[in-house]
Each structure stands twice: as structure tokens, then as C-alpha cells.
Structure 1
Amino acid sequence: MKKNYLLFTLSLLCFAAVFGQDKLPPTEVITGTFIGKTQPLRDFPTFKPSALNGESTEVMVPNDSRTAMEYVETTTVINNLQTEKGKIITQPIEENFVGASNSESGFFPPDPTGAVGPDHYVHSVNSIVKIFDKAGNLEVGPVSLSAFLGINSNAGDPIVLYDQLADRWVVSEFGSLNNSLAIGVSETNDPAGAYNVYQYVFSGFPDYPKYGVWHDGYYGTVNLNGQTTQAFVMDRAEMLAGAADPQIQIFNLPQIVVNPNQVKSPGAVSLLGTSVDTSAPGYITYLQDDGWTSQITFDHLKIWEIDVDWDNPNNSTVSQPLELPTDPFDAGELFGNGNGAIRQPGTSQRLAGHGGIISFPTYYRSFADHNSWLITFNTFIDANETGGIRWIELRNDDVSDWSIFQEGTYSIADDNSRLMSSASMDAAGNIAMGYTTASENLAVSLRYTGRFDGDPLGEMTVAETVIIDGPGVRTNSNRYGDYSHMSIDPNNFTFWFTSDYFSSNNFWATQVASFSLSGGFAADIGAISIDEPNDGVLTANEAVEVTIRNFGTTAQSGFPVELYLDGNLEATEIFSGTINAGETGTYSFNQTLDLSNTPETYTIEVVTDLSGDEFEPNNSVSKEVNSLLALDVGAVAITSPETGTGLGMQTVSIEIENFGGNPQSNFDVQYSLDGGTPVVETFAGTVNPGEIVSYDFTQQANFTELKEYEITASTALSGDLEPANDSFTITIENLICQPNLNCELGDGLQLVSIAEINNVSECEGYADFRNQIANLGAGSTNDITFTTGFGRQNVKVWVDLNDDFSFTADEVVVPNFVIAPGEGAGSYTETVDLILPSNAPLGEHIMRVKTRRGTPVPDACGDIGFGEVEDYTVNIGELGVNDYEISNSDFVVTTLGNNKFDVSLKTSFDGGVFLGVYNTLGQEVAFNKAVSKEGDAYKVTLDMSNMSSGVYLLKMGGQTTTSYKTGRIIVE
């Protein structure tokens, strides 16, 4: 979503009739290849991968990467966030067990999937399938997917479905034929029995396949060749019958705009329950983020209808899309900033969070007066790439097209990302959502939340519940997931969720959990929200109003309700009305509360006390209420500037909070720098109670010098009753940029040698060697030598001639060149010219050396890629005549054989000349301080026959000059 989002109201086009316009036929119809009927799944041997006991032997399942990696910067800060967890306590988790593990599969990521039937849970990850009973006991497996499906290929992306309309099972993965999917459909309702297996060959690689059960087909989507997406429908009836040649009808989706990265996955409708209008078309949906391209002018969902005719595919059609504007979102990118959007504790390695796709599955449930379709996907919620989950409930009915009934963004304000969700809906319309959560303080872990039908729209009201806290992290790849899977029990109330975490460092495991929101109890009442009072200037007689939900299956009335203040019972009163099953009612206490002390935080609790209540944990709700001062504002944050590089003159931006109970405006604000004279201005806007607003000072501050600065911001409201919260202070620093690249494989710099600098170093990523100084002359050409431990190393050098701590194109003194093109790990040394301009200012300046493997070094400050950055100092002086004579000399090394070399320096210089010999570690191995001159050249024969084989560096120059020449020899 772009920052400049326009909320269209009257100007939005009416899309109601779009489904009827310009329908298109299938792009292609393909016929499946019948592989045959398998033996019963239970009869296959247990899969035991050999030599797959360590992380180094894992096989990575690749995403189809024919689209170039692209990083799209986060542009939207989303305001409609649910930042507080729900408070409703539901039934405890029923089953919670390990589904599969790294050691069983040998592949990563696992791509977990699973479906629940009347008596079993079938679970699959890349390469294997397992069957559990509904108590979590393993009955079958692990069985090799390739052996079971008879395709001799474990290429990945498994999907398991339970077809509740037919009481059958579907198991699939990539096929063994080029660009194919292998689909197995159970012959009976026994998941451990025999399956009929088909392979379908697509026109390109069908990456990231996702399916759903519908009355007239299995509807699905694929990420075709990593470049576009297609929808398709499999002939479900023929596959269930075990026919020899069931078809797939494939459709291009009109007007779709795919995300700029690799995985482009719309969602296909997937039926919950068994109630469905058999005349209804199938549906496909996809998100459209206006941050992707100018083709998308506002954030929205697209929905397509597909009508299939199996007797005559020419009659099948896909509609033009219905467009539904959403609240702004930022769908992000598959790999976040190129490393990953999911942060982990204790490592710089991030994980891929999968943005720009519809989460799997997208469930549809039919009710008496409407149909609901549940959609979820990832969204960044701030500029730090913190992940949140956008969830949307669509509704339609017999006369109305799809519209957004409710939407929310689930991202609790605890600095943890929440993402990679899967959600479902029970028969009462209650929603459950499972997901991953992680951050720099929390390893990848699994949670779920939910809401009850009738709760406040856009909110997940159920308390966040831990499925498992992951103890490990991944440090050897950014791959995670690639998806999770929630299904619902045929009882229509029990949710089953699976996803993956790291059971130890670099070892994944999947977890399977089942839970219910509705316990199915006859008697179950609970208070769910305290609606009044709220924060404000409160009195000694505040009324209390509460909402009560009947979680049970029978109507309830005449039950006690208790009111507590700060833990003390204030009143017990009787709710005399009637609340029907699944509905809510409100109650206003006769007893009032004294909340007049200021400033004070009071805790109010309401508890229902229904006789015979079958689940008491959801009886109570509590709320903190703040009794506020009338006049109280303060500066609570300084948002700009921040610690960074090249700060210079900066605008000071602050946040002001109204802690009081009355709106405030036209008061003074000020800032001071390092205790200096304050800059005072007037805030002319209005800040309402509890609101935080931003203010940008007109007068800028000077942060040019490289140092730390203390900034203090304050408010000066006349009559402010709490001066202690008026001010806010931060310390920032103006830095030279210090990009930290990855040099762990040998990339980067092991030696930098120029003039007096002869620096051998290890892998640092960024290293500050500014205490090492090379004395050079303005207008001089100087030899600079580099050694690296990995080939294909691009190198560029800058000197910050104007000392503004910004390395610009006109300050490049060694243009980009490549050491050891086409080579891998090893030791490679290269000497090139460093040329200073004749007008280079005298004095000391920073010299930056930067390397990057594989591609040219783009700039001095970027931190993406393999390589290294090192900073040094050059002291530019005026070269004397002798320096120019050495700089303009000819340095020639001739190999004589038997590791002997003639070394010659042809020059007009007549002073003393030295020759030094160094290994690639920068250690001096030989030195001749007085080389004789023969005619117009200084000459010496160098005998290296007693030296170890390898590369050696030569330096030859005047004993009293700053200039010298360098060369390289190889001793065999």
C-alpha cells in the first residue's frame, strides 16, 4: 500500500454486475495420466532416510526462482491494528503432539499439511506421509510419498485434503514427469487404504499448488514458472470413481496483477461442512497491493467466478474480477529485505515470511441467510517489517455479490511478528486462526486465537493461546514454512492446525494441535467486555455496563453477576433478562463506583455466577480504567532525527500525548540540543484525551559533527497538573555508515596494502582501521594490493575528499574491478592503481574499500550481499620531485625459472632504493635496503627457491620517498 492512499467513497465504480461480463473459456484442458492403484498405504514400509542425521545433509526444496529477486520497501504504516490480545478464555487445547521431524524427512522447509476425518488425522511434510488416530497416536508411517504415489520423486509441496462430501482422502505432491503434479485419491474412506493416482502435466512448472474441496471439482491455483499464476479445476467426480482419464480445466485469471516476487498464490474456495448450493460457481481470490505497481491504484481483493462444464469444456468460463476495496495493507515481499522478514533471537539470519500470497486454505461455509468466505494473508504493519495478519470475512447471499463483512489486522503490540496464518470457521460462525510468531526476542513459535460470532467486528476476542514455544533457530538458510494448514473436524467444531518450528538449532519439527472455541456445554455463561466506564475525568458515581455472552446451547436468565473494584466485591446483582444460545446481552449495575481519585488506575472485574456453569474459566472479564487529570500533556517521543550517517541539518519531530481528560490546543513546545538555548514554538492543533499527535519543529538543528547529541523536548501547557511527564530526552549519534556484509565463506579482504599500510585481517564484515595511515601525494598513481579468500570478488575504493562522510561517485579512486572472475573459494591477490586527483585537498581523509561477490559494488553504504567493508586513512601531501620520479618509474619482474626472478626499477631517481618481499599474510620474508643501480635501472636477482610455494608481494621504492611500486610473483 502506498503512503498516499485515497479512500474512495462516492467515486468507486460499482462492480455488482461484473461477474456477468466478458467471461472467458479455459486456457487449456489437460488429461491426467493414470499411474495406477496403490497398495494400501498401511502396507508400505516405514521410511528411514539414510545419512540424513545432520543439518549438512538436508535437501532444500527450492521455490521456482525464474523471477528475479526483488525488494520492495515497506511503504505503509497500518493504523487499524488490533494491538491488544483478546481476553475470552476458551477450552484448553485437546491434542498437541509432534507431527514430523527433520530426521524423518531429510528435506527443508517441511511444507506441513494435514487434514482430519471422522477417525484419523493424515499429516504430510516434504517426502513423507503419516496417519495418526485422533488421540495423536501414530498408526501408519512415516511412509515415503514418492514410494506411496508410485512416482519415484520427492520434489515437494505436499497437500492433504479430506473430502467430507464423499468421505474420501486426497494426497498430492509434485510429480515425476516434467512440470507435473501427482494426485492420489483414496479408493474408500480408509486413509490407510489404496489410492488411485494421477499425474497432470502443466505448460510450465506448477509451483506452490494449493487446492480446495468444492461440489463440482477440486479447485486450485499454481505459481506457474515463477512468473504468473493460473487457476484450475480437477474433475472430482471422475477421480473419485477411479476413472482412467479425468481432466483438469486451466484458466488464466483476467486482469490479475501478480506480486513482484516468486510465489504468486491466489486462494481457491474450499468448502466447510456439507451444506452447499450445487448450482454455485467456484471462486478464486487474490490480494492486490498498490505498492506493487502503478497498475494497482488502491488496495483490494479480486474475486473470480469459475463455471465448469465437464461434458463440454468449451462451455466452461471464468469471469472478469469483482474488486473489493480493503483497508490499506502492505503485503510485503517473499524475502523481506533480501534476507528475510522474520527476525530470530541470537542470529542475524532472518527467515522468509511469504508475503504477497493468500494464506492456505480459504474456507467457505454456508449458513441459512448468508455464505461466509474467510481470507487471510501477511501484511507488514510498520517500517521495521513487523509482520501482522490481515483477516477478512466475505459474505454473499442469494441476491447479493460478495462484500467485506469484516476485516482486521492482528498484530499485538509486543514487538513480535505474527504471520503465516491458516484460519477456519465452525458451524456457529466462530473463527479460529493459527499462526507463527517470532522476533529478535522470541524464536519461531506457534499460537492461535479466535473470535465468536457476534463479537465486535474486526477483533480476535479469544485469548492468544500457546501451541508450542520453539527452542531453536535456523542459521543456515532463510527458508521457513512454506505454509501452515488448518482443517476442521467433521463434527464442525474442532479445529486441527499444523505448522513448523525449530526443535533445536537448524532442526525443524511440525506440531499438530486440536482445539475448540465452543465447548458444546448446555450451561456456559461469561462476561466478555466491560463497556462503561472508560478512561476520562471520572466521578464518585460511575455507572458500570457489561456485555455477557451465552457460550452454551440453552437460553439462560436469572443468574447472579458480581462487581469487583481493585479486588474488592462491591455488589452482587441478578441479570433478570434472557440470553439465547450463542447470543450476547448487556447489563447495567445499579451499584456505581467511586473513581474520583486522580491520577489513578482502577481495576474493574465482572464475574457471572450461573448455577451449574460447566466451564468457569470464561466467567470473568477485567478492565483497567484510568481516572485522568483535566490538564496534563507531555512530550513522549522524539521520532526524528535518529542515529545515522550524514545527518547535517535535521528537522526535530516529536510526539505529544494528552494524558488528561480534556482536549488541549495552542500550547508551547520546545527542544534543546546538548543543554543549549531552547527552541520554542506553538502547537496550534488539537490533541484529544488519550491521543498521541506528531509535531515537526520549523527551526532545524545542526547535527553535522560526528558525535553524540542529547535532545530534550518538552511541552509547556498552562496549568498542567503533572509536570513530571512534560519532557522526553534521547541521545543520538551522527555516524559514518558502517555496512556489515557477510564474509564468513572467505569473501572480503584478507590483505590491503598501500604505502605504509600493510594490513592483514580476518572476516569482520565491517572493520574500522582508520588508525592506519597511508601517506600519498595529490595527483599520484599508487599501487594498492588486495587479497581475498573467494573469487568473483568485485572491489571499489573511495577517498572522502570533502570529509562529509559520504562516499560519492566523484570520490572513487579505484573503479570497480573483479578479482579472480569465475572462481570460488581460494586465495587470490591483485594489484591495481589507486589514482588521486591533482586537486585533492591536503590532509587526512577516510579511504573506504568495499567488496561484493558476483555483482559490481553499487555504493559505499549498502549492506546486502557477500563481501566486506574496511575503512583506512590517507594523508594527502604534496609530492616531492623524488616521489614523482618513483611514481613514474617502470617496475618489471621477469621469471627466470627454478623460482628465481629478475626485478628491475627503471627510473630517473638516483637515491637509495629498497626491495621488500611479503607473503599474503603481510609478513615480511625478505628485505634489501640498498638495491644497486645499473645504468638507468635498479636491478636485483631474487632467489625464492627456499621459500614455500604460493603468492608473494614485492614493494620497491625510494628509501626517503612515500611512493613505491608493487608487483606479485608466484613460487611453485
Structure 2
Amino acid sequence: DDAWSGVSSDHIKYWTIDVDWTNGTGVISAANQINVTPFISVFDGGSFSNLSQPNGGADIDALQATIMNQAQFRKFATYNSAVFNFVVDADGGPGELAAIRWFEFRQPGDNQPWSLYQEGTYTAPNGKHAWNASLIMDGQGNIGMGYSSMSGPTTSSTVYVGSYYTGRFANDPLGVMSVMEGVIATGNGNIPGTRYGDYSKICIDPADDSTFWFITEYINNSRKGVVGAFTLDPPLPNDLGIIAINSPNSGLLTTNESIVVDIRNFGSNDITNPTVQYNINAGAPVIETYPGTIAAGTTVQYTFTTQADLSAQGTYTICAKTNLSGDSNTGNDQFCKDVTSGPLYCQPTSDCSYGDGITKMVLESIVNNPISCNSGYDDFTTMSTSLNRGVQYNMTVQTGYNTTTEMASMWIDLNDNGTFDSNEQIFANQVINPDGIDITIPFTIPATANLGSHRMRLRCGDTQFSGDLNNPCDPMDYGTTHDYTVIVTDSTSAINEEILKNSTMLIKTLGDKQYDISLKTAYSGPLSIAIYNAEGKILAFNNLRKSGKSYNYHLDMSYAASGVYIIKMSTGSTNVFKTEKIIIK
């Protein structure tokens, strides 16, 4: 994975072994590299706590960075084949959706070079996670694949970890698991703790060379292994569904975002001019007609004519589905995806197990001590402090590794564009030595810094090894990258902020969960509005400009469930804000 240190492109490596069985010797070749379609295989920086179970269950292991049990080899008359898989993140944003990247490698004969014949990414229907897979070929070249699945971020019902299967026929289009998902066994509870599975296993029945046997782990009152046998059924006559939302992806989104989807004809009949739709946050659907024929067993891409306004910062759930009359299988019609509008920051990992990087950091009201080693990247943005522009501050840090090449650099994303630009670097190459001793780093907030809340990035590492300390996104061999929140303030704005404290927020209810919000005030500085649910999760965020004598905002809550929601208007200081609540019935 190119997210790993020292890796420039996503690829597969293989080695060949030539064994002299008579003399007990052998030769292993140099690595052969085959580049593949880009993938994201890192979950939570490489930790073992990854996939959220339903109803508040523990986050369990996605079994990442591992080719799953096992790479299966089979000889055919004119070629040899090997199939294998590993887990990837198909979400495309800050969320997580486990999916299965699978491959078939082929060689034209014994002792010939291997090459990539086909690859695909399998996502389970209804937005479920799919991982911990095992696949094998039968004598006809068909592939059967068993896997674990459970509720994903957008799954509407509760699905505990269970055992499922899919597959493909030898003559299907390359890269697609065409067989409708089948259920071997559903679990009745959550896996306790983070550890799950380690591996699963699939075999082909030698009696008929067409029945697949699969074993994996689930909860049936307690942890148990579950064994199932299945065969591959031919496709249904009329079966159409959305298998991916390719665009938009999380980042700084606009008022005119194109919704681009992949439509899969799973059935045996060609489908002409089908209707498709999408909605955002369960709002009113946008319904359009795909112009043309989708041949049986093929996938096409469609871009909706009607674009979406995703400019307001927050998380949007986009669901796209097909509306085929007489669909033989409606279970695979819909695909949902969470997209976050706002800055999207890189998360470089590094090895901190030897004590490299920052193990203590104190800055004004932020006290982070001790800092444990995880993946080398940690998001501490829930920790914040206010810093006045034009003023010098002292940061106190410690490292856990004793070398004069251990250095630290820091940035503040003052324009909030998701990138730490070179002109946003606050200090660079500060020596952090010796270990276990407080080191003081003085720095000054630029006098022209934008007011408000910004992300601060602090990096520290051993600069004699690989990884550019002063590239805020570069993985380092040894070190840490930590993010915090700073609120840049200006003491000269105190009078204006006092005016804001004495202002009144007015909320006008328009009906159909629509609201007009205004704040009439003499204050004229920067102001933002945020909407929170009762659990404190931010649903929407916008920066506001004053219009005449007031700040105004139209709030659309048509997607929101019944409950209490908090509206917060604030300046660049966490101490100055106005809040009101609305109740949606």
C-alpha cells in the first residue's frame, strides 16, 4: 500500500521458489512486482480496533495488511491460476467500509512468469462490511468466495457478524462477483472485545468439484465456528443494482457536485432505459433515466444530470438505487456512502515503538502527557487552546529516544484548506534532546493569521532515517505526527465580542423542518454556525457573513430524525458564542 513508509505505488509482490527435494536445497527468486488498481488498506492507522459493531458493540479487527487465508493454486489444461484477497476500505473518505479486494494471477505454464489476469473489489449489499474472506476455484474455473459481514455505517437494519458467500462464473466479465450474496449463518450478538477471526477457510468438495465448504467465526450465544456448503446459482433474469458511488468524495465540496454511480446488471436479460435515483440524508429523491441498454452481466457508469449542493461543512449520506419494475432481487438495488464536506487531512504513520517522536506536549491549556505510541499518527483535535495573534508562546515537549537528530516541526492550517502550506509552518527542525527532559520551543503566531479555529500539526522524528520531517504528509521511519486544535484570537476584538454576548439569536419556524436563523448585532467580525445533535455530533457547519445589521442562515432539517438539536453561533474564540435549541417532532 502506498500509505506505507517507503512504498510509492500500490502493488503485489511475489517470489518463486525452486526446490531441490533430493539434496534439500532451494533458491528463492528476487521479488517480482506487479502494480494494481490503487486501494486503501489502512484502517485506523494500523490498529486492531476498526469496524464498529451494531448497537454500540466493540470495534473489531478488520484483519488488515494481510493476504487472507489462503492463496489458492490450481492447474488447468492451458494455464495455472492463483486466487487470493485482502481487506480494503471502500468508503473513500474519513469513514470506514470494509470491502474485499480479490485477485487472480495466471501463468501460461509451469515455470513461466505470473501476471495479473483479473482483480475486483467486492462490496456487500445494503452498505454492509465485508471482510475476512477466503476464495477458491472449481474445476470449471468458477470462483466461490466466503466472507464475514455485518452492518456498515449506512445499513438500515441491525446485522450482527455472520457468514456469507458470493462468487462468479468463468465466463463472467472480469473483475466482478456476479453471484447474488447468499447467507450461510447470521450471528445473534456482537463479538466481545476487538479480536475477531484471525482467518477463515474455504475448500472445494473433491466428490463433485463444485460444492464449496466455508468456515468462519460468529456469535451464536457464544463464540463459535460455523461451517456451510454452497454451490453457485446462475443469475436471475432481471436484476439491476447500484454497486458504487464514485463521486463525490470527502473533501472541500462545492454547490455543484456531480453524483456518479456504477450500475450493475446482475441478471441474464439486457435492461433498457432503467430509472435510477439518489437522495441525500434521506431527503426527496432525484429520479432520472439511464439512456441506453445495459447488457447482461455488465457494469456501466452514470452521471446524474442534477447536481448536489454539498458546500455546507458536515457529513452527508448519499444513497443511490435502481427502480427496475419486476426486479428479481431488490436486495442489491441500493448503495449508500457517507461523504464529509470540509478539509481532509493526510494521516502519515511512523514507527514510534522505540520512543521516537513526541511523548509529552504542553501548550497553554493543552496538557497531553504521557502520549502513548499507536500508529505514529494521532488525532488530538479534541484538545484545543486559544492563541493570540502576534504573541510569542512557549511549547514544552519531550521525546523518548535519545539522539541529537531527533527534531520537531510545526504547522497551523490558517486557511483551513486541508493542506499545511509552506507559509503556514510555524517552526522547523527544533532539536528535541535529551530524552525524558522538558524542551521549550518558543514560537509566535503571525500577526496577520486568520482568526478562528484551525488544525495544528506537530511532527517529530529521527531525521537520520527515511521520511521528510518538513513534509507534513510524509511517513517517517521513526517518529510521530500529532494534530491539535488552536483558536487564533485577537485581544483587540474583546469589545466586539462583548457586544456579541449581549445579542439575541432569533429562530423562525417555517414548517416542514425548515428554519430561518438570524442574529441582529453590532458585532461585525468573523462568525460561524454549527448544528449539533443531542450526542454532540456536528451535523452541519458554515462560516457566515454579515448582511446589513444581522447574520442570517436558512436551516434545512428535512433529513433529521425527531429529537433535540443545538444551534451554536460563535466567533473565533471558544469563549464567545450564542446557542439555542430546536425540537423536531
- Higher radius of gyration, 1 or 2: 1
TM-score (norm 2): 0.49
Greater relative contact order (CA < 8 Å, ≥ 6 in sequence): 2
